[in-house]
Amino acid sequence: MQQEKRGEVNVRELERVVLPHLDAAYNLARWLVRDPQDAEDVVQEACLRAVKFFGGYRGGDSRAWLLRIVRNSAYSFLEKSRSADLAEEFDETRHVSLGDPPENVEANLIKSADSQMLQGALERLPVRFREALVLRELEGLSYKEISEVMEIPIGSVMSALARGRERLREEILRGREREVRRGLRR
């Protein structure tokens, strides 16, 4: 194996560290910036930063390392654009393959409506709670990993998750109450 020159990136090592976590990186970016195309831009910027600063990576949890870069890139993007509230919502129906036709159309419609309600409720949460919940519940990160990504103490992670779950529950209950009033749910 040829010796690397000082300042050059070991491409194989970078690929080993970054590539397995690109789906998680995109998922986090999508939830933070709330737009699929912007999320792709954020992940691309994060990958460029990862290449630039790979010399400072000293091993450890590569997923937490990359997600911290994605998080910082997303916040930089949001600061520049100041249009986070105007971003188009993620449309799951455009990004999920349909596969075979459903056997029970009514059950699938209810499941889809519940999924949309959950997604909407999660979107309405403050970014800190949404970020913590996405990292824990969708990405399966440990409290320690979330602490590293969000750069906050583990106690603050636990607090953000508890408050986020409570706010999410309240949002879902409000959504169901609105559906009952409109006659969409019993």
Read off the DSSP letter of residue 96.
Answer: S
Domain residue limits, the chain = 8-87, 101-181
Cα 87 versus chain centre, distance: 15
- 114 closest CA partner among 180, 163, 160, 172: 172
Instruction: List Cα–Cα distances, 104 to 95, 97, 159, in angstroms.
Output: 22, 17, 40
Task: Give the C-alpha separation, 39 to 73, whole Å.
Answer: 10
**Type of residue found at 91:** D
What is residue 108's predicted lDDT score, i.e. its pLDDT?
54
pLDDT digits (tens, 9 = 90+) for 79-119: 888 644 444 444 444 444 444 444 565 555 555 666 777 88
pLDDT digits (tens, 9 = 90+) for 33-53: 989 999 999 999 999 999 888
pLDDT band for position 121 (50/70/90)?
A: confident
Domain range 101-181, CATH architecture = Orthogonal Bundle (1.10)
Name the token pair of 169: 């529950």
CATH number for the domain whose boundaries are 8-87: 1.10.1740.10
State pTM to two decimals: 0.67
Q: What was the pLDDT predicted at 107?
A: 56
